[in-house]
Structure formats: C-alpha cells, structure tokens
Amino acid sequence: MQDKLMLMIPGPTPVPERVLLALAKHPIGHRSSEFSHIFADVTTKLQWLHQTKNDVLILTASGTGAMEAAIINFLSKGDRVLVGENGKFGQRWAEVCEAYGLNTERIQAEWGKPLDPEVFREKLETDKEKSIKAVIITHSETSTGVLNDLETINRHVKAHGEALIIVDAVTSLGATNIPMDEWGIDVIGSGSQKAYMIPPGLGFVAVSEKAWQAYKRADLPRYYLDLGKARKDAHKNTTPFTAAVNMIVALRESLTMMQEEGLANIFARHSRHRSAVRSAVKALGLPLLTSDDCASPAITAVAPVTVEAEKVRSLMKKHFDIALAGGQDHLNGKIFRIGHLGYVSDRDILSAISALEATLQMLGLEIPPGAGVNAAIEAIWGQAHQS
C-alpha cells in the first residue's frame, strides 16, 4: 500500500493533520497586519515552550543555522570556548567555532557515553583570568541517543560568572524539561522538524539578557543570522527578511496543540516512550548503545551484534514502510536509531516494536512471540498509571 510511510527517525518527525491543514493555507503577506498578529501569538507560545520571558527568535533556517547564529552573535574572534563533543553534533559545533576563528577546546567523551560534568567544572574553576567566554553543549546528542547532564554543567558555568552557556536543544526542547529562566540558561537553539511537529525549515534561538550584553561586544561577522536585527523586528512582530509564512502559520497550530497537551504531559509521554522502546529492545535481545541513566527521550540507538543494522533498516522499510535512522560517521552500519520524538503516540511505539520483532524473525533470530511488544506494553502501562 502506498503513502503509509511511518517516520521513526529523529527528524523530520511526523506532522499532525491539523498542522498540515494549516500549512496548506494560501500564503499571506509577510508584511501584513494579519501576519504580524500571528507572529505575536507564536512568539508568546514559544516563550511558553522555552519557559522564559526572554526573546525567542525565529529564523528561516535549519537547526544548524540556529546554532551557528547562537554561536556567532555573542562571541569575538579568538575567544576561548569549551565545546562538549560526544557525537556528531557536538563535533559540528566545534567545527563551526573553528571556522570563525574561536579558540576552541573540545571536551570529549566516547560516542554513546555522556559528557563528564566534572571536566567542565575543573576547567571553569581553574580559569582564574576568566578567559573562557562560552561553554557549548549538545543536550540530546541525536547521533547516539545520549542525554547530557545540562543542569549540572550549567550550574558550573553559572559559578564561573563570565562564560555564557550555549545549548543545542534541537532534539531535547519539547521532549524534556529545560526551564530556561529557572536554570539561567543564556542561549538555546532548536529546529522545527523535531518536537515542534512541523516540517524542516525554521530555527529558533532563545537569548538571555546576559547574552544580549555579550552581543554588544561581539565582533564575529554576521548578516542574515544577525540576531540583533531579528530582535529589533521581532519586537514589532515582524522579521528582517522574508519569513517562511506558511511554516509560521503551521507552527502556531502545533504550539497550540502542545499547549492543549501541557508541558508535563508532553515530557511524561516522551519519557514513557523512551522506557517502552528500551524495554522492548532489551527483551528482543539487542544491545543498546547508551545506558539507561543517560538515555535521550527523543531517540534510542541500538547496536545489534547478531544481525546487521542496515538489514534491519532495509527490511523495516521494505515490508512495513517504517523508516529508522542509521548510524553516522564511524557508527555507520553499526547501529540503527529509533526516533520517538514529537507527534508520536503509544500506538506508534507498539506498531514499530511489533514490526521490529517481525523483522528480526525474518533475519533468523529466535525470539519468543510477543517478547518486545509485551515489554513495551508493560512500560507504557506502568508509566501511564504513575502519571
């Protein structure tokens, strides 16, 4: 049967019908009063999602564009920055920093392992001259399914006093709790095709007052990604350049849906799905790349040894029209990744696990019938009754 593709990847993620219908509306002028009204509503809703009174700016860009803007607007050439690197995206932010001439120190951990907050603490505490100007962290490392300890690392950055913390929350915002104002986070970057439940095309940057003070001193080149321009126009409910009008209309609908569900329920749902997928994979006898204590609520990385990861992905797509993600760089062909981010329901999880179980049987694994599905049901049922 055609047109039944089920996305179980970390982005793009499934899009609700309500959002698709909003996206399909005839475009309106991006300088019209009607658009300004929509833009103002979206801005308020974005502040709700980020749990902040700070500016949350909208860019027509990917999550990478949002993160590049988050880096270049608040730093100057030669500034010393610490970049956490335990996967593809931490590596990418280090490369962005190096491209702009920043004095970049990579604090690394093995892919699949979390960053060690103690290493950051030691670096920050020994910086008596306050030469460290920023710490850049990937909260949910999409390439491996690791959730880094942002709260603890941020606490060490706050104790330093001078450094900003810049957070890649592309697959964590809207999936787990990131109270920007309560924690005092300076800059958060994210992208539309994740928990926002809309297609790729928009990037978001939330900025604290401390970061805006740093903006005044920053000298890295910027034009399209100049957040000062975006802020000035956002305060007038418009954008400095042509906005992705239909995407913002769709965003308004998706944020409304998120408000209807409520943050606590959204976070509980992602937690429930993480538990269900991980329990099911264990019951199917497949190793997980990451340990339970650092597992992302957005994606689960599986590292099979008795079957080939790419064969699993291929058969899932061929027979069940379910798309799983593969590994990146040296993990290519060694892992597959199951996304459970955004517009994903309990039914979707059970369907994906059932198909995975059937796929493994096709590949010759002897699995007790229903082992994975039963484990997922127990996890879903248990958490649902706790919440």
Average of per-residue pLDDT across 32-58: 98
Examine the domain organization and report whether 103 and 234 are in the same domain.
Answer: yes
Contact 219, 76 (CB under 8 A): yes
Average of per-residue pLDDT across 359-372: 95
Examine the domain organization and report whether 304 and 253 are in the same domain.
Answer: no
150 inside domain: yes
Average pLDDT over all residues of the chain:
97
d(Cα 123, Cα 363) in Å, to the nearest integer? 48
Average of per-residue pLDDT across 263-286: 98
Q: Give the residues across from 8 on adjacent strands.
A: 324
7 inside domain: no
Last residue of a domain, one of 191, 226, 260: 260
The Cα-based distances of 27 to 32, 108, 243, 246 in angstroms read 11, 45, 11, 6
Residue 378 confidence class, pLDDT cut points 50, 70, 90: very high
Examine the domain organization and report whether 240 and 269 are in the same domain.
Answer: no
| pLDDT-above-90 percentage for the chain | 97
Examine the domain organization and report whether 184 and 302 are in the same domain.
Answer: no
Give the number of residues written for the chain: 387
- The model's pTM is 0.97
List, for residues 322-358, the tens digit of each pLDDT value.
Answer: 999 999 999 999 999 999 999 999 999 999 999 999 9
12 inside domain: no
CATH number for the domain spanning 321: value is 3.90.1150.10
114 inside domain: yes
| pLDDT-above-70 percentage for the chain | 98
42 inside domain: yes
> Is pLDDT at 304 greater than 90 in this prediction?
yes
pLDDT value of residue 3: 80
Quick one: 182 exposed, middle or buried, by C-beta within 10 A (0-12, 13-18, 19+)? exposed
Last residue of a domain, one of 210, 238, 260: 260
Last residue of a domain, one of 260, 290, 320: 260
CA-based R_g, the chain, Å: 21
371 inside domain: yes
Examine the domain organization and report whether 149 and 233 are in the same domain.
Answer: yes
CA-CA-CA-CA torsion sign (110, 115, 118, 124): positive
Structure tokens at 295: 């597992």
CATH number for the domain spanning 212: value is 3.40.640.10
d(Cα 380, Cα 374) in Å, to the nearest integer? 10
Q: What angle do CA 57, 58, 60 make, to 5 degrees?
A: 145
The total domain count for the chain is 2
Closest to 88 measured CA to CA, from 116, 71, 111: 111
H helix intervals, 294-370? 309-320, 346-362
The residue written with tokens 């959204």 in the block is 266
Examine the domain organization and report whether 213 and 250 are in the same domain.
Answer: yes
Contact 287, 302 (CB under 8 A): yes
Examine the domain organization and report whether 75 and 85 are in the same domain.
Answer: yes
73 inside domain: yes
> Is pLDDT at 268 greater than 90 in this prediction?
yes
List, for residues 191-241, the tens digit of each pLDDT value.
Answer: 999 999 999 999 999 999 999 999 999 999 999 999 999 999 999 999 999
Structure tokens at 336: 């597959």
d(Cα 268, Cα 165) in Å, to the nearest integer? 26
Structure tokens at 371: 């082992």
Cβ-Cβ contacts under 8 Å for 278 (sequence gap 6 or more): 288, 292, 295, 300, 379
4 inside domain: no
Contact 134, 164 (CB under 8 A): yes
Structure tokens at 17: 């019908």
Residue 2 CB neighbours (<10 A): 5
**Do β-strands 299-302 and 140-141 pair in parallel, antiparallel, or remain unpaired?**
unpaired
The whole domain housing 317 covers 262-386
pLDDT value of residue 103: 98
Residue 2 confidence class, pLDDT cut points 50, 70, 90: confident
